[in-house]
C-alpha cells in the first residue's frame, strides 16, 4: 500500500509552482519509488510531486514501457494539435476532451542526474504536458473551454459540499432544511 496521498482538487498545494531539484540524492530516489507505487495503486499514467504534497519539479510516468522519472522537466518545442479525453488523479472520475500539441520535445534529468531529451507524440506527449502543468501549478480544469469549465466547477463544488450528483447546486438539500 502506498504511503503517499494524492492531493485532490481544492488543495492549495496544487496551485503552486514547484521548485527546481538541486541535488538528486537518496531522498529524491526514495520519493520517486513512493510516487511510482502511488501512481500504480491509483491507477494512473503519470504523477507529479506536488500531487503528493512535495513542491519539487519531479514527475513519474508509465505509458506502457515501465516507470520513468523526469526531474526539472522543460518543454523546448511543440507542434501540431491533438484532441484527447484527459483525466487527472487529482480530479478523480472526471475527464474532458482537451486540445494540446500532438508532439513535444522535453528535456530534463534522470535519477542519475544525466541530461535527457525525449521527443514524444500522442499519449506520451500528452502525459508530459499534463504533468508539467501540475509542476507549474496548473490543473486540467484550467485547460477547459468556458462551457466545460462551468460544468466541471459545478461538479467539483458539489463534491466539496458532499452533494449528490443529482443535486449539483445543492437546492434539494436546502429545501429539506
pLDDT digits (tens, 9 = 90+) for 110-142: 999 999 999 999 999 999 999 999 999 999 999
CB 51 within 8 A of CB 8: no
Whether the pLDDT of residue 176 is over 80: the answer is no
Active site residue: 77, 86, 122, 131, which one? 131
User: If you count them, how many residues does the chain have?
Assistant: 177
Q: How many CA atoms lie within 13 A of 165 on its CB side?
A: 3
Please report the pLDDT score of residue 81 as a whole number. 96
131 is catalytic: yes
Average pLDDT, the chain: 91
Q: Which of residues 155 and 167 earns the better pLDDT score?
A: 155
pTM: 0.87
pLDDT at res. 3? 84
The pLDDT of residue 166? 52
Q: With pLDDT > 70 as the criterion, what percentage of the chain qualifies?
A: 90
Q: Can you say whether residue 173 is alpha, beta or left, with left for phi > 0 and alpha for psi between -120 and 50 degrees? A: alpha
Amino acid at each position: 500500500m502506498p504511503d503517499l496521498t494524492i492531493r485532490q482538487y481544492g488543495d492549495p498545494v496544487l496551485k503552486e509552482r514547484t521548485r527546481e531539484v538541486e541535488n538528486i540524492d537518496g531522498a529524491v530516489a526514495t520519493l520517486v519509488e513512493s510516487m511510482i507505487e502511488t501512481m500504480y495503486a491509483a491507477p494512473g499514467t503519470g504523477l507529479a510531486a506536488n500531487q503528493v504534497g512535495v513542491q519539487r519539479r519531479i514527475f513519474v510516468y508509465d505509458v506502457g514501457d515501465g516507470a520513468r522519472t523526469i526531474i526539472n522537466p522543460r518543454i523546448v518545442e511543440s507542434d501540431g494539435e491533438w484532441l484527447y479525453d484527459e483525466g487527472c488523479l487529482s480530479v478523480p472520475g472526471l475527464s474532458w476532451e482537451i486540445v494540446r500539441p500532438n508532439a513535444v520535445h522535453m528535456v530534463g534529468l534522470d535519477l542519475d542526474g544525466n541530461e535527457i531529451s525525449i521527443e514524444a507524440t500522442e499519449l506520451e506527449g500528452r502525459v508530459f504536458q499534463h504533468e508539467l502543468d501540475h509542476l507549474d501549478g496548473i490543473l486540467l480544469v484550467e485547460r477547459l473551454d468556458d462551457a466545460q469549465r462551468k460544468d466541471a466547477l459545478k461538479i467539483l463544488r458539489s463534491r466539496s459540499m458532499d452533494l449528490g450528483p443529482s443535486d449539483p447546486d445543492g437546492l434539494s438539500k436546502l429545501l429539506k432544511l
